[in-house]
Amino acid sequence: MESHVVKTLSTLLVSLMLNTSAFADQYGGSLKKSPDSKARFRINCFDDGNGAPAEVYLDVQGRTKSAPFVIMAILEKNGVTSSVTDKINGDRKSSPAIIFRQGDGVYDLTISKVTKKPTQPDSKRKGVMVFSGTAHCVSGSGAHTGTDIVRR
C-alpha cells in the first residue's frame, strides 16, 4: 500500500512540474543562451466572484546574478503595451511593479533580455537567464480577482 501511495504522489509531482500553468499568480522559467531568446505567457483575468478585473499588477525578477544583461517584461492587450525592467539581476528583489489597466480578458506577457546600456552590442545579451515574477488581476475596488497564467 505504502509503495502505491509513494508512486502515485511521485507521478502527481512530476505531472505538476511538467504542467506549464503557474501557481499562485507566479510565473517563471529561463531564457536560452541566444540573444533573442524570449518566454511568452498568457494571463487570463476573470471575475472569480471578487469583481470584474480592471487591471494587472506585474513585476519581474532576474535571478541569474552575473549576466551581462537585464530582464524585461512586456505586457500587451488590445495593441496597448507597458513594460518593466529588473535593473539588478540576482539581488533577490523584483522590479518595480507596473499597473496595467486594460480590464478583463487575456493579456500577453513576453519576457526578454535587454542590454544594460542601449549602446552595447546584441552579443552582450548572450547567456542563460533564470527569471520569475508575479502577476495579479485586480478589480476596480482593489480586490484580487481571477488570475490564470499559462506559458505558451
Contact 56, 102 (CB under 8 A): yes
Strand stretches in the chain, DSSP E: 26-31, 38-46, 53-62, 69-77, 80-86, 98-100, 105-115, 129-139, 146-151
Confidence of residue 121 (pLDDT cuts 50, 70, 90): confident
Residue 11 lies in a domain: no
Residue 7 lies in a domain: no
Tell me the three cell numbers of residue 31: 531564457
Please give the tally of structural domains in the chain: 1
Confidence of residue 70 (pLDDT cuts 50, 70, 90): very high
37-57, pLDDT tens digit by residue?
Answer: 999 999 999 999 999 999 999
5 pLDDT more than 60? no
84 pLDDT more than 80? yes
User: In which domain, by residue range, is 41 found?
Assistant: 22-151
Residue 110 lies in a domain: yes
92 pLDDT more than 60? yes
What CATH number is attached to the domain comprising 99? 2.60.120.380
| Collapsed DSSP state (helix, strand, coil) of residue 121 | coil
Residue 12 lies in a domain: no
Tell me the three cell numbers of residue 79: 495593441
User: In the chain, what percentage of residues exceed pLDDT 70?
Assistant: 84
Residue 135 lies in a domain: yes
Residue 4 lies in a domain: no
- Calculate mean pLDDT across residues 81-108: 96
Confidence of residue 30 (pLDDT cuts 50, 70, 90): very high
Residue 10 lies in a domain: no
Residue 131 lies in a domain: yes
